[in-house]
Structure formats: C-alpha cells, structure tokens
Homo-oligomer: A and B are copies of this chain.
C-alpha cells in the first residue's frame, strides 16, 4: 500500500505557510503501516492540480488531498478530482444543513459561494467537518483511493482522526491487519542516547516497531504493532512499554503524547502539592510552561522574575555579598540558585520552590560562559539543592532547555515521593 499526499494552496508555493499537514498525515500513515513515497504541493490551479493527480495515480494507491475546499472560486480540489475521475459533484444535504446552521446561529447571511463547501463527489462518501464548514470526501475508483481533507490543521486533524482513518481501515486496508500504536515520552535524555539504550530492541523489532521522534528537549517513541484482535495488540504494546520502562525508569514520563509540565500538574494535583518559581535567565518561560496547562491554578499560585541583581536582592532576599564583589559567587552560581528556590518557596508558601539562573547569551556575563546555568529545587520540610547545567545552543535553545531541565528534575522528585508513599 503506497500513498501520496497532495497539498493544495498557492500560499504554500509562495512560502507564506509551512506544510504541517504533510508532516501530520505522513506520520499518521506511517503508523498505519502505509508507505508515503511522495508529497506534492500544487497551487490553486485546476490544470496543474489534474496533472498532479495523474502523476500520483501512477505511483500511489491512496491519494490524500489537503486544502482547496473552501468557499472561493480558487478552491478547486473537488472540481479537479471529480473531473479526473469523470464524475460529477452534488450538494450534500447534511453538509449544506451544517453550513446553513452555522450562519443562522450567528445571524449572518449565507452568501451563495458558501454552498461550494457542501460539495461532494458523486458516489463518494462525504466526511463531516466537526470544526469547520467544508465537507471532506472519500472515494474509490479503479483500485485507487482518494481522500479530500480541508487545509486548516484544526479542521484536518479531527477529520482525519474521526472520519478518514476509520474509512481507510474499513475501505483501504481491508485485507490488512489493523495497526495499533502507543506513544512513550521521555525527558532528560537525548534522542541518540535513548536510541543507544534501546538499540537491541530497535534492531530486533519484528512485528512491533519502535520509532523515535525528536523535538527540542523531548523525545518521543512510537510503538506500533499489527494484530487482528485489539486486546492482543494492546498486550504486546504494554509488554514492550514495561521492558522500556524497566530499562529507563528515570526518563520515561508518560505513555501518551503530553508535555512533561502536564504530567507534573496532574501529579501535583493528585498529591496535593504546590509549586512556585523564581526565574532569572528564563525570564518567565518556566512559569509560562506550567500555566499553559489547564488546571494549573490548583498547583501553581505565582512566582517572580528576577532578571537584575537588584530584583534578586529586593524581591527574593538574595544577600548582597552573594552577588557583589570580586570573590562573590555571583548571580550565576549554585548558591544564588539555592537562595532563589528557597526564598520563592517561603514567600509564596508553597511545597516546592524552583529557580533558574544562568547565562543564556549571546554575551558572556560575570566572566562565565554562555550556556552555564544553575537550577534550584527547594522543598518544604526538606532539602534545597542545585544542579549545574552546561548547555549548548543559541539564546532561545538555552532558555528552553533550562526550563525543561527544571521540570524534568521536579518530575523525578515527584516520582520518588510517590514511590515512597506507596
């Protein structure tokens, strides 16, 4: 089973937007065991679109389109596909009702061109759009399968998940055993180190594949396996997860696709613990990450950004002798990181106080190198400790890695406390 993705839109060819749909669809198809050999981008032009369809039909069994199904005369994907297949288009009644209702609910007149969003290819399957107006389409002809999806990711992703994927499983992969996947998320370890640790498992993989994906400061592994019975597949995935967890318990923080800050907010809510932060070089990034999680208000009340030495003294009671003078440890030091963490914890009356102080660059400061960062963790009725980081990268990368590193160490400590409580 070979697939090709055709993204339609002149804005892609002008470089105004990046083709994240091709990435999303490729990853999803890979997880279904379908090979993508080509991705194509073509503009809003019916001739060139039909040319792209002809080429794709020669080299793929499944062709997925994204974009070009909006209300304007430029939106030509359905027209071009229908023409290529020698089929007509009709207004799908259910899709039309959906469009009508949208305008009625907002008390706005529906203009005629919006009817185009309800167009469906004769003899195909309309794919309802839960988060937008344009209906998708799926159709098979002469052994080839075609799926038309909207361009905006917030419409494409739910439509793929809820409509297109089930259609692929029931109409395209009929002879194939379904694939089941599970995401494992790691922090505190790089992609290559993780691969080295799992090399024997990756090389030995038979009917269960282990595919790593790296993003800045986190690594994801997708486990996939085929099985006719869902329970059988889930058992196999669970077994492999256990093997990996036993090998890397200090890095595996979730078995679903969530950031580490979400796991932390969930754990602390459960454990009835609270946290605050004092940030120097990260300037708010750490607190921003925590508060990006809905429900974080249960565990996070506030914190302080102390960018200057003056603020470290004034808002966080860092003694002047720690910061000033030829032989003082300075703002970027173990000692300052510890005072910051402890003081913010005391000031906000929380169970944990976190801190970050370092040189994010581009210039050196305190004669200390760019990338030298100290993070601090202080616990109520417990110890205050600090960790020295020597980070590579530009200013943005160093700031991000510093924040993620604090979160990683907090997660490890929460895990430890959880284990002790059990």
Interface pair A39/B26, CB less than 8 Å apart: no
Q: Is the CB of A294 within 8 A of B395?
A: yes
Contact of A301 (CB < 8 Å), options: B20, B302, B307:
B307
**Does the CB pair A288–B285 fall under 8 Å?**
yes
Question: Within residues 172 to 189 of chain A, which ones have a CB less than 8 A from any CB in chain B?
Answer: none
Q: Does A228 contact B (CB under 8 A)?
A: no
**What is the minimal beta-carbon distance from A289 to any residue of chain B, in angstroms?**
8
Instruction: Among A15, A28, A45, A285, find the residue whose CB has the most chain B CB atoms closer than 10 A.
Output: A15
Contact (A213, B302) CB under 8 Å given A37-B48, A42-B38, A308-B297: no
How far, in whole Å, are A282 and B305 apart by their CA atoms in the complex?
14
Name the residue of chain B whose CB is nearest to the CB of A281: B291
Chain B residue contacts of A25, Cβ below 8 A: 15
**Tally of contact residues, A, Cβ under 8 A:** 72
Distance, CA A307 to CA B26, complexed state (A): 40
Specify how many copies of this chain sit in the oligomer. Answer: 2
Asked if A55 is at the interface (CB within 8 A of a chain B CB), the reply is yes
Chain B residues within 8 Å of A303, by CB: 284, 304-305
Assess whether A38 is in contact with B26, with CB atoms less than 8 Å apart: no
How far is the CB of A105 from the nearest CB of chain B, in Å? 15
Which residues of chain A from 337 to 396 have any CB-CB distance to chain B below 8 Å in the complex? 347-348, 361-363, 395-396
Give the docked Cα–Cα distance between A211 and B55 (Å): 31
- Judge whether A79 is part of the interface by a CB distance below 8 angstroms: no
Interface-centre pick from A13, A29, A48, A213 (highest chain B CB count, 10 A): A13
**A:3-43 near B, CB below 8 Å:** 12-20, 22-30, 35-43
CB neighbours (8 Å) of A277 from chain B are 305
Residues of B within 8 A of A28 (CB): 15
Query: How many angstroms from the CA of A281 to the CA of B300 in the assembled complex?
Result: 12
* Cβ–Cβ contact A306 & B311, under 8 A: no
If the complex has contacts A41-B39, A284-B287, A292-B283, are A24 and B19 also in contact, measured as CB distance less than 8 A? no
A277 to B12, CA, bound (A): 38
Interface residues of A in 265-300 (CB under 8 A from B): 277, 279, 281-288, 290-292, 294, 296-297, 300
Is B14 touching A27 in the complex (CB atoms < 8 A)? yes
Q: Compute how far the CA of A18 lies from the CA of B38 in the bound complex, rounded to whole angstroms.
A: 14
Closest chain B residue to A403, Cβ basis: B288
A399 within 8 A of B: yes
A302 touches which of B12, B23, B315, B395 (Cβ 8 Å): B315
Residues of B within 8 A of A301 (CB): 307-308, 310-311
Contact B284 A291, beta carbon cutoff 8 Å: yes
A354 to chain B, nearest CB (A): 12
Q: Is A52 an interface residue (CB 8 A)?
A: yes
**Chain B residues with CB under 8 A of A55:** 55
Q: Quick check: A16 and B12 within 8 Å, CB to CB?
A: no
A26 to B9, CA, bound (A): 13
Contacts of A300 in B (CB 8 A): 283, 307
- Smallest distance from the beta carbon of A305 to chain B beta carbons, Å? 5
Which residues of the other chain, B, contact A17 by a CB distance below 8 angstroms? 23
A174 to chain B, nearest CB (A): 24
Chain B residue with the shortest CB-CB distance to A55: B55
Q: How far is the CB of A214 from chain B (nearest CB, A)?
A: 8
Q: How far is the CA of A23 from the CA of B41 in the complex (A)?
A: 11
When the two chains form their complex, are residues B18 and A18 in contact, meaning their CB atoms are under 8 A apart? yes
